[in-house]
Chain A
Amino acid sequence: MEGIDKSFAGVSALKQAKLEVKAGEVHALMGENGAGKSTLMKILTGIYSKDNGSIKFDEKEVEFKNPREAQDAGIVIVHQELNMMNHLTVAQNLFIGKENMKGKFINDRANNEQAKLLFKKINIDIDPKEIMGNLTVGRQQMVEIAKAISTDAKVIVFDEPTAALTETEITELFKIIRDLRNKGIGIVYISHRMDEIKQITDRVTVMRDGEYVGTLITEECTKDDIISMMVGRVIYEDPKQTSNVPADAPVVLSVKNLNAGKMVRDVSFELKKGEILGFSGLMGAGRTETARAIFGADPKESGQIFVNGKEVTINNPMDAVNAGIGYLSEDRKRYGVIVQKTVADNSVMANLENYSSGIFINDKKVKKDSKKYVELLKTKTPSVDQYVMNLSGGNQQKVVIAKWLIRDSEILIFDEPTRGIDVGAKSEIYSLMNELVKEGKSIIMISSELTEVLRMSDRVIVMCEGRIAGEFSIEEANQEKIMHSATLRK
């Protein structure tokens, strides 16, 4: 693949991207979140079409219009999210669309036999008659791999295959991958886990911001080489130099040994008054899950939460709101605002009891206060009666902020506050956050953008696989250190 360009609605996702995979090698494709790895792979496998550039497969120029064409040519992808029909059996899943037939009827016996042979070939023991949904995620993934092999694939793309696997399953998977490599199949391996890259791959191609950065031979480079290629030397925005929080500032929020599912394991940290605490890490590191557990949106297994030194019980978001915690979701449209409602309605959503007498809502007061916050936050809206869906992303975010300010929340959790917001609105949100902490509010900011974390935070916590993997004061934090912690397993 060479010189691949792709843009979505005018926003460039790939610029002159490049990748070369040889038969019989395991080739790692690495890069930060949003570096364009998945987009490039989707173009390769015919899910997206490219704007420019050329794809050569076996020396021949190719262009796949849909996944089927790529499959028929011998390029398949094992997706990160498994694409399975959970209610069907393993063999039924394997052969969907290409069943063995006996006249007009499906020959399930032949399908099961063929599945058994296939599993034997890659040395795994799965009963073809088992219902898919009864298998563990790891086993389901093995079935996906078997499906890929059954099509006589020449190139197999693995998109973060180990994300949901246990230690033994990973060993099993690596054995299969090595077998495939020895059979001359080219393998693209996408992963954030540095150890795995060193362990299984022959070469590494690094991407950044949709561009090709370089290709290294795995044996000849160190983890740090790869990391510095991933983050690059370019600093886009000035990072914060020193913390603005005095060392003796009181602790407003203290979380002790929080556990909630696989993604939140033994998380403990403190948040000081007037602090912006950055939560960094790769996708799926458990940051949002931690925030949701603290906020009571998801159930906790164990752990204590202290607000201003007093232990609080938070079983649901209502408890959290009453404890003075506000949560600004990463998915604004789903969890943050009600887009079919007006600015005024959204602004008071978390605090209706203060705006009603009896069962009736005091519309005048609602409008007066929401107007006040529209002015304070410089929200661009013709009036507070405007429907939120007509506002830009940045202004919608301001409505969410207003909601929690009206509620008088002391602790604000910003989950990806600038996702999907343009550059101008971004810096407005930044200065707003800075003003909020100046007024004595405290902020937890979850962000996948390293530059944003370094620019805004007074302190940085890095999460990896549900655990806190590192903590840095802003003075000592830099992109390399954060990346290092974020890609380290345990």
Chain B
Amino acid sequence: MGNNSLKRVFKNMGTQKLIAILALVFIYVFFAVFSSSFRTSNTLISIFDSSYYIGFMAIGVTFVIITGGIDLSIGTVLICSSLIGGVLYEKGLPLALVLICIILIGALFGFINGILVSKFKLPAFIATLGTMMITRGFGSIVTKTKSITYPLRTAEDGWYKSLFRTGPIGNMETGFPTGFIILMVLAIAMAIFLNKTRPGRYILALGSNKEATRLSGVNVVKWETLAYVISGTFAGLAAISYIAIYSTVQPGSGNGFEMDAIAGVVIGGTSLAGGVGSIAGTIIGVFIMSILKVGLPFIGLQPHYQLFITGFVIILAVYADVRNRAKSSKN
């Protein structure tokens, strides 16, 4: 039985996730071998820094993708909620409340997406494309197109930066990547939520076969909406990690953030056709992306090579998924 169930764990985990883990290790070792300066804790911290906001977005959007939907608005919701938060801060709202507002704004946009998709039956692609444009425009409107700068580390309100890194980038002592702990704790919590609670189970079920789930007496509208609310909430969390690392937010930026997150999810083995997905896979996918982003300059390639290479990786990952599906539908 033990051997048997272990075999099944591997089978169910999917070759794709296994390949993703191997790819993650391979890429890291590759850079470490070819560049001695890559092997520093400094670089490792940079990798973490650039993984937080994409990581949070990716965790959230995993839920939406498992339902068979998509959320294109997460990147601009990140920017929009940071900008609104910045305006509130300038108006004198305490920073702690500002951070909570940022999360709530993300959740609100997620809720709007969810209602549009589950209740009004809009195609997810179109509904979230709409909110993507709305949030991008809205961010510029509230700031009158001026950029927003959050307090620096040395300022009185600089404490929030320590949530993600305890000090300036340098080594583990002066700048410990606390954000990694937050990311991991939330990832584990959401993985348990997905696999061990009713809402998670229903999200997986409706992504696999919505009609069958509905006929089983499950309120599919409610749980599909919840998936988008999770996605929006995590976009809000991503906004906090973004301002903690980068401080300055430009209206109109955030282009392509959602694609980085979705790419991470897909590389991690979550199927765009719905029904299958895991948070662990998503985290692996996100780190593949950030190692590529940080590592390529070390071997003399400019960051835009990251785009070029990620494109190939995504096509490969989705092709593996499509082939798996074709195979299993034949049986």
Chain B 197-235: CB-based contact to A (< 8 A → 1; otherwise 0): 110011011011101110111100000000000000000
Flag if A67 contacts B215 (CB, 8 Å).
yes
For the complex, give the distance between the alpha carbons of A87 and B204 in Å: 8
For the complex, give the distance between the alpha carbons of A105 and B199 in Å: 10
Chain B 1-19: CB-based contact to A (< 8 A → 1; otherwise 0): 0000100100010000000
B281 at the binding interface (Cβ < 8 Å) = no
- In the assembled complex, which residues on chain A have CB atoms less than 8 Å from the CB atom of B192? 105
Flag if B197 contacts A88 (CB, 8 Å).
no
- In the assembled complex, which residues on chain A have CB atoms less than 8 Å from the CB atom of B202? 96
Partner of B215, one of A83, A104, A105, A106: A83
CB proximity to B under 8 Å, residues A204-229: none
Closest residue of chain A to B212 (Cβ to Cβ) is A83
A interface majority secondary structure: loop
Flag if A71 contacts B217 (CB, 8 Å).
yes
Flag if A86 contacts B208 (CB, 8 Å).
yes
- In the assembled complex, which residues on chain A have CB atoms less than 8 Å from the CB atom of B207? 87
- In the assembled complex, which residues on chain A have CB atoms less than 8 Å from the CB atom of B201? 88, 92, 96, 99, 106
Partner of B209, one of A71, A83, A92, A98: A83
B75 at the binding interface (Cβ < 8 Å) = no
B279 at the binding interface (Cβ < 8 Å) = no
For the complex, give the distance between the alpha carbons of A51 and B18 in Å: 56
Interchain nearest-CB distance for B216 vs A (Å)? 4
Interchain nearest-CB distance for A110 vs B (Å)? 13
Interchain nearest-CB distance for A398 vs B (Å)? 34
Number of interface residues of A (CB under 8 A): 25
B331 at the binding interface (Cβ < 8 Å) = yes
For the complex, give the distance between the alpha carbons of A88 and B203 in Å: 11
A residues adjacent to B (C-beta < 8 A): 67-68, 71, 83-88, 92, 96-99, 101, 104-106, 108, 129-131, 133-134, 136
Flag if B215 contacts A88 (CB, 8 Å).
no
For the complex, give the distance between the alpha carbons of A172 and B330 in Å: 24
Number of interface residues of B (CB under 8 A): 25
Please provide the 8 A-B residue pairs with the shortest distance between their CB atoms, ordered closest to farther: A83-B212, A87-B275, A85-B208, A87-B208, A97-B216, A96-B216, A68-B217, A97-B217
Flag if B8 contacts A99 (CB, 8 Å).
no
Interchain nearest-CB distance for A35 vs B (Å)? 24
User: Which of B12, B215, B275, B276 is most buried by chain A, counting CB atoms within 10 A of its CB?
Assistant: B215
B323 at the binding interface (Cβ < 8 Å) = no
Flag if A85 contacts B213 (CB, 8 Å).
yes
CB proximity to A under 8 Å, residues B1-52: 5, 8, 12
Flag if A97 contacts B218 (CB, 8 Å).
yes
Closest residue of chain B to A133 (Cβ to Cβ) is B328
Closest residue of chain B to A107 (Cβ to Cβ) is B196
For the complex, give the distance between the alpha carbons of A99 and B217 in Å: 12
- In the assembled complex, which residues on chain B have CB atoms less than 8 Å from the CB atom of A88? 201, 204-205, 208
- In the assembled complex, which residues on chain A have CB atoms less than 8 Å from the CB atom of B204? 85, 87-88
Flag if B12 contacts A85 (CB, 8 Å).
no
- In the assembled complex, which residues on chain A have CB atoms less than 8 Å from the CB atom of B12? 131
- In the assembled complex, which residues on chain A have CB atoms less than 8 Å from the CB atom of B5? 129
Chain B 44-65: CB-based contact to A (< 8 A → 1; otherwise 0): 0000000000000000000000
Interchain nearest-CB distance for A246 vs B (Å)? 46
Interchain nearest-CB distance for A489 vs B (Å)? 25
- In the assembled complex, which residues on chain A have CB atoms less than 8 Å from the CB atom of B198? 99, 101, 106
Given known contacts A85-B208, A106-B196, A106-B201, what 8 new A-B pairs fall within 8 Å (CB)?
A84-B212, A85-B204, A87-B208, A87-B276, A96-B205, A99-B201, A101-B198, A134-B331
